[in-house]
Amino acid sequence: MNRLRTPAACFENLADFPFAASYVDVSDQEGGTLRMGYVDEGPKAGPPVVMIHGNPTWGYMWRKLIPVLAENGYRAIAIDLIGMGRSDKPTQMSDYTIARHEAWVKEAVFEKLGLKDAHFILHDWGGIIGLRAIADYQDRVASVILSNTGLPVCDPDQPVKKMARKGAGMLRAFQLYVRFRKNWQHWKTLSRITLKDMPPEDVAGFAAPYPDKRYLTGNRQFTQLLPTRNDNPMLVENWRALQKLKSFDKPFLTLFSDKDQVAPKGYHSVRPAIPGTRDYEPVILEGGSHFLLEDIPEAYGREVIAFLKTIEGNSNDQNDRALGGSDQSSSDKGRPSRASSARRRRNPRSR
């Protein structure tokens, strides 16, 4: 597989992104290897938190969350999907499929890095790819936060009555636009979607991995993989992943924004189908576009840390009960269960 590698100089002096690059090799599934880049900050012995971005972003989107996680004792790992960020960039559109992205993430996160008890934060395409990867490694996952994305499916046992998916007209037009625009400067598209005006240096940070149009292939192909038709193979693959995830009962928070232009109701695709979501009402943050970490990073970070700390507290409570037997101490009496605590504390559209 032919690939490009963005020169390291392109990543120098990026705004709010002082993080060193780490790399892991994954199979290109054609007899060669590809280098996947990732950020690895915070204490190496801390609970790992894996962040997976979508399109047209890269690990740079997590730049304001990474230090928050590290300061709270977590090992913050932000991967760059193949074709994006500091990762290698195969040169042909056909090199990229969702199945390959899934395989690359599985190999990097679970096989090469060997992560266990990992928390996952997933955004946009990172939601689909991440959930599919998690479905086969549920015993290695501690929790999931899903943001501004969904898991569209198609049941293979149900007849397809209409090929075009509902509401896909705008997406089809977008696909056509990008298909013939090889120099799609997607960082400009991103800056037009955010609700807050992005500083020029932040826009430059999203543009940094792509010094010329040859490096844009992976971003452009993501647009062509959008599920605008019911014969998109991704939909059945997603359905199969969802069947596996129906046994995932670990903490699962849907953390969305109220002005998301892409998947504002995406949490309905996983909730209540995935058991872990049932203990946590959706949290809808105010004032955020699809790229909510550009608009409301502080609010997002607060909710992430609150969720993770709640999980830690529940785990400690369970350990205490295991050591002390079934009797509750006086300080534990009247404490709500995880489910009731989460529901009472988290009220949609109140953040």
Residue 303: predicted pLDDT: 98
Rounded Cα distance, 124 and 130, in Å: 10
Using only C-alpha atoms, what is the Rg of the chain? 20
The amino acid at residue 104 is W
Is residue 136 annotated as a catalytic residue, yes or no? Answer: no
pLDDT band at 30 (very low <50, low <70, confident <90, very high): very high
Beta strand 33-41 pairing with 22-27:
antiparallel
| pLDDT over 60 (residue 134) | yes
Is residue 119 annotated as a catalytic residue, yes or no? Answer: no
| pLDDT over 80 (residue 142) | yes
Q: Is 252 exposed, middle or buried (0-12, 13-18, 19+ CB in 10 A)?
A: buried
Q: For residue 137, give the nearest of 99, 106, 101 by alpha carbon.
A: 106
> Under DSSP, is residue 148 helix (H, G, I), strand (E, B) or coil?
coil
* Averaged pLDDT for residues 62-88: 98
Rounded Cα distance, 278 and 271, in Å: 7
| pLDDT over 90 (residue 342) | no
Catalytic residue (one of 28, 40, 95, 260): 260
The CA–CA distances, whole Å, from 33 to 107, 108, 221 equal 12, 12, 20
Domains in the chain: boundaries: 3-345
What are the strands of the beta sheet with 141-147, ordered from one edge? 22-27, 33-41, 75-79, 48-52, 118-123, 141-147, 252-257, 283-285
Lowest mean pLDDT among 6-20, 40-54, 139-153, 329-343: 329-343
Q: Which residue has the tokens 């790399």?
A: 23
Residue 323: predicted pLDDT: 54
Q: Domain 3-345: give its CATH architecture.
A: 3-Layer(aba) Sandwich (3.40)
* Averaged pLDDT for residues 265-271: 97
H helices, E strands: number in the chain: 11, 10
**Side-chain half-sphere CA neighbours of 69 within 13 A:** 30
> Under DSSP, is residue 133 helix (H, G, I), strand (E, B) or coil?
helix
One-letter-per-residue 3-state SS of 246-263? CCCCCCEEEEEECCCCCC
pTM of the model: 0.91
Beta strand 283-285 pairing with 252-257:
parallel
Residue 321: predicted pLDDT: 55
| pLDDT over 80 (residue 311) | yes
Q: For residue 131, give the nearest of 223, 141, 78 by alpha carbon.
A: 141
Q: Which two tokens stand for residue 192?
A: 């037009």
The amino acid at residue 344 is R
**Contact indicator for 262, 123 with CB cutoff of 8 Å:** no
Catalytic residue (one of 124, 202, 279, 295): 124
Is residue 124 annotated as a catalytic residue, yes or no? Answer: yes
Rounded Cα distance, 143 and 253, in Å: 8
Catalytic residue (one of 101, 119, 186, 290): 290
